[in-house]
Each structure stands twice: as C-alpha cells, then as structure tokens.
Amino acid sequence: MADALLKVDGLLKHFGGVTATDHVDLSVPSGELHGLIGPNGAGKTTLIHQLSGALRADAGTIFFNGRDITRASLHQRVHFGVARSYQITSIFRSVTVVHNLALAVLARSGSSLGFWRPLAREPVLFDEARALVNQVGLGGRENVVAGRLAHGEQRQLEVGLALATRARLLLLDEPMAGLGPEESQRMVALIAGLKGAITLLLVEHDMDAVFRLADRISVLDSGRIIATGTPEAIRNDEGVKRAYLGEAAPA
Amino acid sequence: MRNGLAISMLVLLVAFPLAAKHWDQLFYVSFASRILIYALAASSLNLILGYGGMVSFGHAAFLGTGAYAVAILMAEGVTSAWLSWPLAVMVSALFALVIGAVSLRTRGVYFIMITLAFAQMAYYLFISLRAYGGEDGLNLAARSRVGFGLDLAGDLTFYYVVLALVMACLYLMQRLLSARFGQVVQAIRDNETRMEAIGFPTYRYKLICFALAGGAAGLAGALLANQNGFVSPNLLQWTQSGTLMVMVILGGVGYLYGGALGAAVFLILEEALSAYTVHWQLGLGLALLAIVLYARQGLAGLLAGSAAERR
C-alpha cells in the first residue's frame, strides 16, 4: 500500500491513564470508501480529531498523499486536502445556507483580506455555493437561515461544508447521527454519490449504512484496530462479534 | 427608510454647530466633538468585541497611546497633523498587533484578563515617563496644524474635521464588515472551530482585526489629545477601558452604530446627571442594568426593533 492516500502509522493518544488511540495503523487508498466502526467509547471520534488536526497525537505519524501531516494544524490540513465533518452539527447558524457554503468556498480562494467589495456581490463564490446546495440535496432551501433548518437538513449542510473545501479526503464523523429513517436514506444517497470521486473515511453507528456503502471496514475497540477487511469479512470476524457482544451485532 | 435616517442624522450633525454658534452656545460644539471622538473609540472596540467576539478589556491602551503619540510629537516640535495623526494610528496599531499576538492565544476570561494586564502595563509605563509629565500628564502647546488655511484652534473647525474623520472611519468600517474580511471575522465569532475546519487560519484574521481596531482607537486618541489640549496616564487606566465597554454594551454590541449611539447616550447622560448630583454614576449604572436585563441588543437593537437586523 505504498500509494495509499492516507497512511497512519502507530498513532497513539493518551488521556490521563486511558489509551484512547492505541498504536493505530490505517491505510486508505485513493478513491476508497473506508468505514470505521466500533462500540461506544472505542475512540472513533478521537481518531478523527487526530486525523483532521483538531488533536495532536502523542506518537505516530500521519501521511497524506506522501506528505507527513502529523504536525500540521486543522486549517493547514484542509489546504493539503483533508477535511472533516462533525458528529455534533457545527454550522454557521445565523446566516443562510448558501452563505455557509460560500464561506467554505471563500476559504479556498486564497486571501480573504478584502476590505472593500461586499462579499454578497461576489457572484463566483455564490455560484459555486449554489451548486453545492443542490449537490447536498438542499435545493430550494439556499436562502433559509441555517439555524432554522430541520435537523436532517442541518446534517446535510454539515457534510456540504466539508465537501465545499474540495478536499480529496473527507472524514465524516457520524453523518447520520440523530437522523430518522427517511433522512438517513437521503444521507446514504448523498454519500453514495460521492463514492469514487472522493476518498472517504466514514465513522458511523448505522451498521446497515456502513456495510452497504463501504469498500472496506476497520473495527476499532478500546483504541485498537482489531480487524480490517471487506464488509463480508468483517461480518464473519469472530473478534468483531466479541467486541460487539452486548451491543447490537453487526447486521 | 434607513438611508433617510442616516441622511437626516448627517444633516443634523453638519447643521448643529451653526445653530449653536448662532445662539452663542459654543460649549455644545466642543461637547459634540467629544461625543464624536468617543463614538470612534467605542466603534473601534465594537469592531473587535461585537463583530470579532474578542472581549478586550484593554482598549484604552490604544486610545491613550494615540493621544500620547500626538502629545509627545508636539513636545518634540512636530505640530503637523498630517504627520502626527497617521503616526498615532500606526503606533497604536503596532502596539495592538503585539498585544494581540500574545493575548489572542488565550480565550474567554483569560483574554479579558491579559488585555487588561497589558493595558495596565502601558498605564504604568506612561506614569514612569518623567520626561513627558509622568503622573501629571502633558499639556499640548496648541492643536495640531492641518494647513489649507484651517485653524483647529477654532472649535467649529475642529468639530468639522473630527466629524469628517469619524464619518469616514464609520464608512470604512461598514465596507470592511460586509466585505470578505469582515464576513470572515464575523463567521469566526459565530463558530471559530468550523472556520478552522474549512481552512481559515483564524488567529491571523483575529489579529489583523485587533490591530485595525487598535489603529482606529489611536486616531480617536490623537483627536482626544487635541480636544483636551492635555494628555495624562488616566487615559489608559482600566476604568477608561470599562467606559468604552459600557458605551458599546449600552449602544448595541455588534451593531454598526452601536458604539456611536452608546458614546452619545453615555456622555449626554453623564453631562445631564452630573449637573444634578455627584452620584451621576448611579443613574448611569441603573440605565446599564436596564439594558443588560431587558435589552441585550442595546439601544441600537431596540431601535432596529428585532434581532433580525443583527450582522
């Protein structure tokens, strides 16, 4: 896997006496949709935090596209091509949907040291933002203030913000959190639409969705990766079954 | 409607000194200049506090630095406004850049405390400047010279120069806030983590905003030194920072004219109440209490009628 887009070697993170990330090795080739599952408290979000740059790892390295990004900050990694979404919706609640996405488009357009021309009169930004509105299935809702969107729509915008960075690797942290069955269907369709075009690391509790979408799946338990393989192989893995004992077994 | 209000306000501001002169009440012209200068100072604080979400408790440091820059330059024989005022702005902005570079690494209450600490350090620094009056302060020999046959010694002339500068600054602030930079800063205020996560180096934007506000406060300081004909370390004291903060809260945090409105109401209340009682601050305190309890958006919020106007 020398040509993996994301390559993680021996990643380690302690919180006091707890080892939240325990020598994690992970390799995601370009174009893959890689599922990351595990029981509650397995350290999935902690891992995402380290991959995105929100948290520093105690040890280990993270390579992206052949570049060592272990010490790069959150915003630097976005420019390298790694972006994330949040499990707890993190959007700009007081501005419209299209304005949210225009900000993310703006982040890519070099310097934002414009002091004179109103942002609202920058058609290029807003044209691209509107295209993104449609891509994430919020067509017709672009002028709604984001805080007034339904929960499911906010989740779509959440993914849209990550998508708007045009990153090559998206780290999606439980995009389906709190969604009803119908909204989940929409989200699955949205992610399925991204598959192939972008490399995705998908953390999700919705087993149905992960097993349907992922090319390969890694299972995290107590900070350690206990299995990696195709959905079929993971489904039949004895170690995985044991880890999930007491929780709903993978379908 | 809003434009109509702005234009009639401007007409009033332009016509007011002529009326005051007609009825021989030049004191009010000087008082109005003071209001305008504080309007600029409070607006510059509103830029970082209201729009940038940076609750700085040391803004007087920049006001005082600007004032001292003009006074010290004048003591050294530099009387031209064209030289000393821009220098005051630059020195204050640079000072803000340094303070901001350290302070902005902290958040919340720590940010409030560290900005306060820096301002107090500046306060004691000017107290220790024996050559420039130390604790007693420093008199200006005259008002700065602007040339073009204008003499700032005249209260009317000075008022119009102040008015022009303050209006220009407010206009620049309005442009800046709706342009890329201002929109980025406001988004950082609303959700800094997400701004990082979509690729913005948020620290840099906040720092630039902080320095700009410092520069604007420096200009207010330069004008204030001219207005008073005198500078002293009191200009940098923490109570002065508090006053500016009260003005912003009174007027409306995050409203374009919040700072100006707050400065006007604060100074007029102070003037009116202190005619009746030495305990005028009690009345002011009650007014502030009412605002904080019942009108969080300040007077500008009340005037706008709803929170929808915000941003």
Task: Indicate the domain borders of chain B.
Answer: 27-237
* Cα distance between residue A54 and residue A232, in whole Å: 33
Question: With contact defined as beta carbons under 8 Å apart, do A161 and A101 qualify?
Answer: yes
Give the per-residue pLDDT at B1: 54
The C-alpha angle with vertex B12 and arms to B11 and B14, in degrees rounded to 5, equals 65
Token output for B164: 């022009």
Residue of A nearest to B187 (CA): A92
* Amino acid letter, residue A238: E
Question: With contact defined as beta carbons under 8 Å apart, do A229 and A16 qualify?
Answer: no
Total tally of structural domains belonging to chain A:
2
- CA dist B35 → B159, B231, B271, B274 (Å): 10, 17, 11, 16
Q: Are residues A184 and A195 in the same domain?
A: yes
Which pLDDT tens digit goes with each residue over A61-95? 999 999 999 999 999 999 999 999 999 999 999 99
Would you say residue B32 has pLDDT above 70? Answer: yes
Which of B43, B37, B56 has its CA nearest to residue B210? B56
**Nearest-CB residue to A112 (from B180, B193, B310):** B180
Task: Characterize the bridge pairing of strands A59-64 and A4-15.
Answer: antiparallel
Hey, is the C-beta of B187 within 8 angstroms of any chain A C-beta?
yes
Q: Are residues A53 and A155 in the same domain?
A: no
- Backbone dihedral angles phi then psi of residue B275, each to the nearest 5 degrees: -70, -25
- Which SS3 state, helix, strand or coil, does residue B254 take? coil
Q: Are residues A180 and A61 in the same domain?
A: yes
* Cα distance between residue A165 and residue A158, in whole Å: 12
Question: With contact defined as beta carbons under 8 Å apart, do B262 and B248 qualify?
Answer: yes
* Cα distance between residue A231 and residue A214, in whole Å: 7
Token output for A30: 């370009």
Structure ipTM over 0.85, yes or no: yes
- CA dist B84 → B90, B120, B211 (Å): 10, 24, 18
User: If you average pLDDT over every residue of chain A, what do you get?
Assistant: 91
Question: With contact defined as beta carbons under 8 Å apart, do B212 and B43 qualify?
Answer: no
* Amino acid letter, residue B252: G
* Cα distance between residue A56 and residue B10, in whole Å: 54
Burial of A58 per CB tally in 10 Å (0-12, 13-18, 19+)? middle
User: If you average pLDDT over every residue of chain B, what do you get?
Assistant: 90
Q: Are residues A41 and A95 in the same domain?
A: no
| CATH for A11 | 3.40.50.300
**Contact between chains at B198 and A83 (C-beta distance less than 8 A):** yes
Q: With left for phi above 0 and alpha for psi between -120 and 50, is residue B134 left, alpha or beta? A: left
* Cα distance between residue B194 and residue A100, in whole Å: 11
Which of these ranges, A238-242, A244-248, B273-277, has the smallest mean pLDDT? Answer: A244-248
Which of A112, A147, A166 is the C-terminal boundary of a domain?
A166
Which of A166, A194, A220 is the C-terminal boundary of a domain?
A166
Question: With contact defined as beta carbons under 8 Å apart, do B133 and B232 qualify?
Answer: yes
Q: Are residues A175 and A62 in the same domain?
A: yes
Which of A140, A166, A192 is the C-terminal boundary of a domain?
A166
**Contact between chains at B190 and A115 (C-beta distance less than 8 A):** no
Q: Are residues A60 and A108 in the same domain?
A: no
Q: Does residue A86 fall inside a structural domain?
A: no
- CA dist B300 → B104, B144, B291 (Å): 28, 34, 11
Which pLDDT tens digit goes with each residue over B86-141? 999 999 999 999 999 999 999 889 999 999 999 999 999 999 988 888 888 898 88
Question: With contact defined as beta carbons under 8 Å apart, do A146 and A155 qualify?
Answer: no
The residue written with tokens 């306000």 in the block is: B9
Cβ neighbours of A222 (radius 10 Å): 15
Which of A54, A16, A65 has its CA nearest to residue A167? A65
Q: Are residues A54 and A72 in the same domain?
A: yes
Q: Are residues A100 and A156 in the same domain?
A: yes
Token output for B170: 């407010």
Which of these ranges, A199-213, A234-248, B77-91, B185-199, has the smallest mean pLDDT? Answer: A234-248
* Cα distance between residue B54 and residue B189, in whole Å: 8
* Cα distance between residue A95 and residue A225, in whole Å: 40
Which of B189, B184, B193 has its CA nearest to residue A158? B193
Q: Average pLDDT for residues A9-38, to the nearest whole number?
A: 93
Which pLDDT tens digit goes with each residue over A99-131? 999 999 999 887 777 888 888 888 889 999 999
- Which SS3 state, helix, strand or coil, does residue A204 take? coil
Q: Does residue A48 fall inside a structural domain?
A: yes
The C-alpha angle with vertex B153 and arms to B151 and B159, in degrees rounded to 5, equals 85
**Contact between chains at A94 and B184 (C-beta distance less than 8 A):** no
Hey, is the C-beta of B135 within 8 angstroms of any chain A C-beta?
no
Give the per-residue pLDDT at B65: 96
**Contact between chains at A78 and B175 (C-beta distance less than 8 A):** no
Q: Are residues A172 and A74 in the same domain?
A: yes
* Cα distance between residue B66 and residue B226, in whole Å: 11
CA distance A191 to chain B (A): 19
Q: Which residues pair with A195 in a beta bridge?
A: A198
Hey, is the C-beta of A73 within 8 angstroms of any chain B C-beta?
yes
Boundaries of domain holding A224: 1-81+168-251
Cβ neighbours of A123 (radius 10 Å): 9
Q: Are residues A154 and A177 in the same domain?
A: no
**Contact between chains at B194 and A161 (C-beta distance less than 8 A):** yes
Give the per-residue pLDDT at A1: 46
Q: Are residues A58 and A41 in the same domain?
A: yes
* Cα distance between residue A144 and residue A172, in whole Å: 24
CA distance A98 to chain B (A): 14
Q: Are residues A118 and A55 in the same domain?
A: no
